[in-house]
């Protein structure tokens, strides 16, 4: 009788996937065979061990993570934004004081404003999408 119960039957029995007649057959076989009972206990232990696995990487924090978070990033943003603002004002001043044709100035201004609007809207959409992305917490 033991030979009629396979490992797959035991796993399906453990998961509650067998029909009632098969459950009765497996229970009868389990009552008769200590070897089958041992295999069922092994599968139960495996199920318990696998159920406790986590695929999240262990948290690894170092002193430099705090330094980067509290000092390096804010300092980088401050320097980046101040430099961008200075270049923007300098470019606007050179643009306004140049002896170029006003039509050329309008064309360059329209191109620049159009590019900045498209870039801003794309970045804004991407940020909104990333907030609702169901896969944002998955690490590769």
Q: For residue 120, give its domain range.
A: 99-133
Confidence at residue 86, expressed as pLDDT on a 0 to 100 scale? 96
The secondary structure element, H or E, covering residue 45 is: helix 34-51
Confidence at residue 58, expressed as pLDDT on a 0 to 100 scale? 66
Same domain, 44 and 75: no
Please state, in angstroms and rounded to a whole number, the distance separating the CA atoms of residues 26 and 18. 9
Confidence at residue 140, expressed as pLDDT on a 0 to 100 scale? 65
Total number of domains constituting the chain = 3
Are residues 5 and 29 in contact, defined by beta-carbon separation less than 8 angstroms?
yes
Same domain, 83 and 105: no
Domain annotation covers residue 56: no
Confidence at residue 79, expressed as pLDDT on a 0 to 100 scale? 93
pLDDT tens digits in sequence order for the chain, 140 residues long:
344 788 888 889 988 899 988 999 999 999 998 999 999 999 999 888 888 777 776 677 777 777 777 888 888 889 999 999 999 899 889 888 888 888 888 898 899 899 999 999 999 999 888 888 888 777 76
**What's the whole-model pTM score?**
0.39
Domain annotation covers residue 88: yes
Confidence at residue 38, expressed as pLDDT on a 0 to 100 scale? 93
Domain annotation covers residue 106: yes
DSSP-assigned letter for residue 4: G
Please state, in angstroms and rounded to a whole number, the distance separating the CA atoms of residues 15 and 126. 43
Please state, in angstroms and rounded to a whole number, the distance separating the CA atoms of residues 73 and 133. 24
């Amino acid at each position: 009788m033991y030979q009629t119960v396979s490992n797959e039957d035991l796993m399906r029995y453990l998961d509650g996937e067998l029909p009632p007649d098969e459950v009765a057959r497996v229970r009868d076989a389990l009552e008769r065979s200590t070897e089958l009972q041992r295999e069922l206990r092994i599968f139960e232990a495996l199920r318990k061990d696998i159920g406790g696995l986590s695929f999240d990487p262990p948290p690894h924090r170092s002193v430099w993570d705090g330094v980067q978070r509290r000092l390096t990033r804010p300092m980088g943003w401050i320097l980046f934004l101040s430099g961008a603002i200075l270049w923007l004002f300098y470019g606007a001043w050179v643009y306004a004081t140049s002896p170029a044709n006003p039509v050329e100035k309008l064309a360059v201004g329209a191109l620049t404003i159009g590019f900045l609007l498209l870039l801003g809207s794309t970045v804004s959409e991407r940020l909104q999408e990333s907030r609702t992305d169901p896969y944002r917490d998955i690490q590769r």
